């Protein structure tokens, strides 16, 4: 086991339910500096994990464990932190409660401030659902978070993004083996359908038109689709995927009693230095939503990147140009 | 029955199989002019029919049965022309052969020239799969077709379009009730999943962001998704949908012995006056593919339209601005 578990105990959730015996799986890299000014928080993305986050930093890069204390924390539902597939009895499988981004951030906050002794966070950053968590960190803890860098993400899940997720969910749940979450064995056909339906959204039209899948080692589109289908069937629990999608679909920094759905007011409350970095060809986190956010977050910089890889531009190893700009933006935020 | 059936007999298909006792369901509007110069051909789109094509013409419009002889012809697989749900014995359901656009055009050609006595076609036009057929008409019969106007369509189905279709297919086929096409009753859950997965592609991101679904009479996104799911479950046969998707996915004007996959050569062979009219926000027939085609079709005009309705901009009644530009382009081609 290459990670640690933080026992959160029972957590009162935004939905009103309680998540019992909640666990956060996390890993730290580097050393907390005297004075504590080198803390970087990395939540995980949809199919991410602390280990997949490792592609975003390394020796000599803008984020480097030789200089930074990186805390990589697995999302609830990801299979390592509390998830339908691992939950305490009576909350397993289809009985897992609805988890908001706010609930993830509340638990992560307890880990960081209570357990790890963190007093300031230099930067929260991440791709996709991880980036969504960065916004939530900035809104929920404006005095703690000095900078955020969400890439291919948004502060509130857009209506179209919600609809796209309804589509991939429908593909999974069409498999009667899923049985409303009460399955003995995984709904393999549904998981494969989920992967195949997702693949059209993950990359841009020109990624497919120009055969960029060859850059990723696929000989053909059929190869790519089969691999996405097999990956989902082999590596994921259906209820875990659905739990994370529920978190994603409900994503909204303004949800809750403080902002009561007023997105602009929630964004205006952010004190963190902010760079928003969408991929212009992302089909479900299109740059328009970030451009709007940037108008409301004080001082926010809006820096879209062109990449045929679309949403997956940010996946480590896919697009060197995206990675270079990511590192430039990270360095700017850390060295301000 | 508000349409006629043309008995094509046995048809030798591009795939090598034979479609037995092939039938084309069609309807004509207006009168064939002396001299025959007023023939307009309208193939049907994916979920289209001759009656749904009626939204593209009418009294006082650019296309008007008072002046034009409009021949609206149902696509194989659409449920009225030969389809898995209606095919002759031993070709029904999952045994229905693969039908190419070329096969549709060959049968339509027999109806028009053999049965209806047509000598020239003033215009072939259509939305989406119907527009794809317009290109095929122009390539297969350059001496017969004077003009084409495909809107939200392409001459060869793009790789991303293929992938998007794999996704909605996967959603349908994840329902074990589908049973490889050999079902006793419709795979209702799969049909619903197909509709839900399709809805994210049919409109643009800003359609959902800006609540344009209200313009279509939906109170909420949930309403829209439920309606799309129910519509597919109620009105479609699963194998019919899959047969049409197979036609769509294989769409390529250059397929076959004459052009051997050389798209540019096939496009260069078009003699019809051509206007290509994509919607700039179409997620699966993006304008880039048409811009490329326009470089290779002699004299082709490339006229993208902006519409938040995305691919469904062309659905009659959705976007008055799109309709107005469509009529302008039709008039230009018919009056040249």
As a whole number, mean pLDDT of residues B296-320 equals 97
**Token output for A101:** 């981004």
Residues 204-223 of B with CB under 8 A from A: 204-209, 211, 221
For position B92, what pLDDT does the model report? 80
Tokens of B1: 């029955």
pLDDT for res A295: 98
CB contact under 8 A, B200 and A160: yes
Instruction: Inform me whether the pLDDT recorded for A336 exceeds 90.
Output: no
**Signed CA dihedral, A250, A256, A261, A266: sign only:** negative
Alpha carbon of A137 to those of A125, A134, A156, A277, B136: distances in Å?
A: 10, 5, 13, 17, 55
Name the closest residue on chain B to residue A164, using Cα atoms: B200
For chain B, counts of helices (H) and of strands (E): 10, 8
B256: left (phi over 0), alpha (psi -120 to 50) or beta: left
Residues 119-138 of B with CB under 8 A from A: none
Mean pLDDT, residues A247-251: 98
**Looking at the complex, does the CB of residue A291 fall below 8 Å from at least one CB of chain B?**
no
**Residue B237 CB-half CA count within 13 A:** 21
Share of chain B above pLDDT 70, in %: 100
How far is Cα B151 from Cα B90, in angstroms, rounded to an integer?
A: 36
Average pLDDT over residues A70-87: 95
- Cβ neighbourhood burial of A317 (10 Å; 0-12, 13-18, 19+): exposed
Q: Are strands A147-151 and A273-276 parallel, antiparallel or unpaired?
A: parallel
Q: Which of A165, A169, A205, A216 best tests the B interface by mutation, with the highest count of B CBs <10 A?
A: A205
Strand, coil or helix: what is B287?
helix
How large is the average pLDDT for residues A109-135?
A: 98
The tally of CA atoms less than 13 A away on the side-chain side of residue B320 is 1
Partners of A193 on chain B (C-beta within 8 Å) are 170-171, 173-174, 193
pLDDT at A14: 95
Is pLDDT at A88 greater than 80 in this prediction?
no
Q: How many Cα atoms within 13 Å fall on the side-chain side of residue A183? A: 22
CA A37 to chain centre: 24
- At residue B88, the pLDDT reads 72
Contact B138, B160 (CB under 8 A): no
Position of tokens 């057929």? B133
The SS3 of residue B151 is strand
Cβ(A256)–Cβ(A14) below 8 Å: yes
Burial of A216 (0-12, 13-18, 19+ CB in 10 A): middle
Q: Taking a C-beta distance cutoff of 8 angstroms, is the pair A43, A130 a contact? A: yes
Rounded to 5°, the CA angle A258-A262-A265 comes to 80
pLDDT at B314: 97
pLDDT value at residue B91: 86
Q: Are B150 and B304 in contact (CB under 8 A)?
A: no
Helix (H) or strand (E) holding B190: helix B188-202
Q: What is the pLDDT of residues B198-218, one digit of tens each?
A: 999 999 999 999 999 999 999
* Substitution target from B155, B158, B160, B187 for chain A, most A beta carbons within 10 A: B160
| Contact assessment for residue B26 and residue B3, using Cβ atoms and an 8 Å cutoff | yes
Condensed to tens digits (0 to 9), the pLDDT of residues B118-127 reads 999 999 999 9
State the average pLDDT over residues A6-16: 95
Q: What's the count of helices (H) and strands (E) in chain A, helices before strands? A: 11, 8
- For residue A196, give the chain B residue with the closest CA: B167
Tokens 């590192």 sit at which residue?
A327
CB burial of residue A251 (10 Å; 0-12, 13-18, 19+) = buried
Q: Which residues of B touch A197 (CB under 8 A)?
A: 167-168, 170-171, 197
| Average pLDDT score over chain B | 97
**pLDDT reading at B260 higher than 90:** yes
Neighbours of A58 (CB within 10 A): 14
- Three-state secondary structure call for residue B323: helix
CA-to-CA distance for B56 and B207, rounded, in angstroms?
Answer: 22
CA B58 to centroid of chain Cα atoms: 20
Handedness of CA B155, B161, B167, B171 (dihedral sign): negative
Predicted pLDDT at B36: 92
As a residue count, chain A comes to: 336
Cite the active site residues of A: 128, 282, 311
Crossing angle between the packed helical segments B159-173 and A188-202, to the nearest 10 degrees: 160
**How far apart are alpha carbons A200 and B266 in whole angstroms?**
28
pLDDT surpassing 90 at residue A87:
no
Helices (H), chain A: 50-53, 101-109, 129-140, 159-173, 188-202, 205-209, 221-235, 238-249, 263-268, 287-296, 320-334
Report the distance separating Cα A193 and Cα A174, nearest Å: 9
pLDDT at B319: 97
Coil/strand/helix, residue B39? strand
pLDDT of residue B93: 79
Domain B4-157+251-334 has CATH 3.40.50.1820: yes
**Kind and range of the H or E element at B103?**
helix B101-109
Tens digits of residue pLDDT in B73-112: 999 999 999 999 987 778 887 789 999 999 999 999 999 9
Q: Around Cβ A179, how many Cβ atoms within 10 Å? A: 14
Rounded-to-integer distance, Cα B189 and Cα B171, Å? 9
Q: Which residue of B has its CA nearest to A156?
A: B209
| Chain A residues within 8 A of B221 when measuring between CB atoms | 159, 162-163
Quote the pLDDT of residue B132: 98
8-state DSSP, B260: T
User: Which pLDDT value is given to residue B109?
Assistant: 98
Q: What does the pLDDT read at residue A91?
A: 86
The ipTM estimated for the assembled molecules is 0.95
Per-residue pLDDT reduced to its tens digit, B144-189 = 999 999 999 999 999 999 999 999 999 999 999 999 999 999 999 9
Largest CA distance in chain A: 56
| CB contact B200 to A (< 8 Å) | yes
Q: How far apart are CA B137 and CA B122, in angstroms?
A: 12
Of A7, A11, A33, which is closest to residue A20 (Cα–Cα)?
Answer: A11
Looking at the predicted structure, is the pLDDT value of residue A89 above 80?
A: no
pLDDT at B89: 72
Residue with tokens 């050999």: B182
- pLDDT of res. A253: 98
pLDDT band at A81 (very low <50, low <70, confident <90, very high): very high
Determine contact, residues B192/A170, Cβ cutoff 8 Å: yes
Assign a CATH topology to domain A4-158+251-334. Answer: Rossmann fold (3.40.50)
Residues B262-301: b if buried by 16+ CB within 10 A, e if exposed: ebeebbebbbbbbbbbbbebbbbbbbebbebbbebbeebe
Q: Cβ–Cβ of A174/B159 closer than 8 Å?
A: no
Mean pLDDT of A198-224: 98
A83-92, A151-160, B57-66, B117-126: which range is least confident on average? A83-92
């Amino acid at each position: 086991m290459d990670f640690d578990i933080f026992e959160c105990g029972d957590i009162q959730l935004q939905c009103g339910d309680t998540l019992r015996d909640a666990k956060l799986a996390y890993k730290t890299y580097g050393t907390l500096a005297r004075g504590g000014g080198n803390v970087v928080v990395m939540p995980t993305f949809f199919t991410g994990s602390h280990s997949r986050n490792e592609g975003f930093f390394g020796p000599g890069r803008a984020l480097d464990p030789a200089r930074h204390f990186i805390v990589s924390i697995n999302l609830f539902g990801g299979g390592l932190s509390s998830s339908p597939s691992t939950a305490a009895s009576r909350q397993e499988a289809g009985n897992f409660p609805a988890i908001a981004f706010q609930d993830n951030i509340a638990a992560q906050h307890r880990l960081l401030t209570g357990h790890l002794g963190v007093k300031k966070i230099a930067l929260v950053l991440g791709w996709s659902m991880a980036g969504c968590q960065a916004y939530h960190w900035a809104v929920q803890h404006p005095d703690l978070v000095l900078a955020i860098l969400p890439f291919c993400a948004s502060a509130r899940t857009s209506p179209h993004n919600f609809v796209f997720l309804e589509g991939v969910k429908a593909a999974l749940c069409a498999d009667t083996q899923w049985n409303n979450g009460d399955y003995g064995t995984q709904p393999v056909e549904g998981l494969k359908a989920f992967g195949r339906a997702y693949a059209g959204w993950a990359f841009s039209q020109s990624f497919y038109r120009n055969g960029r899948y060859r850059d990723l080692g696929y000989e053909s589109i059929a190869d790519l689709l089969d691999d996405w289908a097999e990956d989902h069937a082999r590596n994921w629990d259906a209820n875990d995927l659905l739990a994370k999608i529920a978190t994603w679909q409900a994503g909204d920094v303004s949800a809750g009693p403080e902002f009561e759905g007023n997105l602009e007011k929630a964004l205006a409350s952010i004190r963190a230095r902010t760079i928003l970095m969408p991929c212009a060809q992302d089909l479900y986190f299109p740059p328009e939503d970030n451009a709007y956010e940037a108008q409301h977050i004080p001082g926010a910089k809006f820096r879209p990147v062109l990449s045929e890889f679309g949403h997956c531009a940010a996946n480590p190893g896919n697009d060197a140009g995206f990675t270079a700009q990511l590192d430039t933006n990270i360095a700017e935020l850390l060295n301000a």
